[in-house]
Amino acid sequence: MPDLFSPFSLRGVTLRNRIVMSPMTMYVAEDGCANDFHVMLYGSRAAGGFGLLFAEQMAITPDGRTSTSCGGLWKDEQIPSWRRVTALVKKMGGVAAVQLGHTGRKGSEHRPWEGGTQIAPDAPGGWPVSGPSPIPYGGHRTYPVHELTREEIHGLHKAYADAARRAVDAGFEWFEMHFAHGYLGASFFSPIANQRTDEYGGSLENRMRFHIEAIDAVRAVLPERFPLTMRLGCDDLNPAGIQFEDALVAAKVMKEHGIDLVDLSLGVNTDQITSVPFNVLGLMADRCAQMRRECGIATAASWNLGRPDVADRVIREEKMDLVLLGRPSLSNPHWPVWAARELGHASPFDQLPEDWAWWLRNLRAEPTCVGWPKPQNVPDPEAAPLDPNSGYLSIGNQG
């Protein structure tokens, strides 16, 4: 039976555990490039024991960003900056993952702490947004939406493939397509946002066409050993939108086109939501289990899995194969070690690089001396009392 700390293999890539740092837009990139902030963020979480680490969603075109401070791989000049990140992640024992996407109707925005409102297309920092149909998202996103032509859609598929090639060159080893959260892929999937009458709209088969062609374009340029996954919006929380049954159909088809794992999330293609389940622990666990069972495909999810007991349980019950953590990974860069200690793992520091873990396993008198809270009623198997006759142990710079 697998648990949270079991290795996981997909195609030619093996993760040291089932714990994933979820892709999160951080709004500090410079012209799509990573900087010291990203090296610090992802390097520290890799050193903290996360098995798979997603960089933020990478825009495949400049207008595919949420803001001008978002990451991207739409030009070769961005490759070296992200190579710095992937090299450090690999050195620390993690696997670097990239999420490719386009924000569609939800682009051209101020950063969240600056209001998060949509910027007019002719204002500084703004641009015209696009989608499958000329329908504004709603709420504060009311500016006109450009309806993509067939030729533009085909150009975006090429942009997906070009961005994937750059990501390979940048050292990423795990690839995900972002088809959720009201972004462009999710918009094509949803009848709320997609009211086209050509081959990209109408029936579910047609509304999946954008995704299938994008997947085919990316899979064609990836080395066979690299996994290709997708974050799929499986519910718009609106009766007129995406339903979970649609996602089951889509997963079966997209598996045939090379998708290896489905990262389930919400569609969020409208601000008219009929129910708000955002505080439910393990929100996507049962849906992951059903998709895993009915579609024969690996699954993953985020959404309220930051409690170690909950995260471990969904893996042990084989409801999903990977647990994605967003805010928990921001609040605790060593979440995997903390979770291992909370769950009574026999050797918590095994989640870390060996040249880091050795110092934490050895030369200490009491568990809390290394700065970790002592687990409730769980003995620490790594804690060995210091021999009182041994005298002071000189350990140089590690003292």
Contact yes or no for 171/223 (Cβ under 8 A): no
Please name the residue that has the structure tokens 């996981």: 8
Our answer to whether residue 183 is catalytic in this structure is: yes
**Residue 255 neighbours by CB under 8 Å, 6+ apart:** 295, 296, 297
Beta 52-59 vs 19-21: how paired, if at all? parallel
Distance CA 228, CA 18 (A): 17
Q: Write down the catalytic residue from 137, 143, 160, 183.
A: 183
Distance CA 358, CA 372 (A): 16
Distance CA 140, CA 335 (A): 35
Contact yes or no for 58/167 (Cβ under 8 A): yes
Which residue, among 215, 210, 214, 295, has the nearest Cα to 247 in the 3D structure? 295
Contact yes or no for 11/224 (Cβ under 8 A): yes
Which residue, among 284, 285, 295, has the nearest Cα to 250 in the 3D structure? 295
Question: In the chain, which ranges are continuous DSSP H helix?
Answer: 36-47, 79-91, 150-169, 184-189, 204-207, 209-219, 244-256, 285-295, 308-316, 327-331, 335-342, 354-361
Distance CA 256, CA 212 (A): 10
Contact yes or no for 182/268 (Cβ under 8 A): yes
How many of the other CB atoms lie within 10 Å of CB of 70? 23
Look up residue 257 and give its two tokens: 């086109």
CA distances from 200 to 133, 191, 197, 263 (A): 10, 11, 7, 23
H or E segment to which residue 176 belongs: strand 174-179
User: What is the set of active-site residues?
Assistant: 183
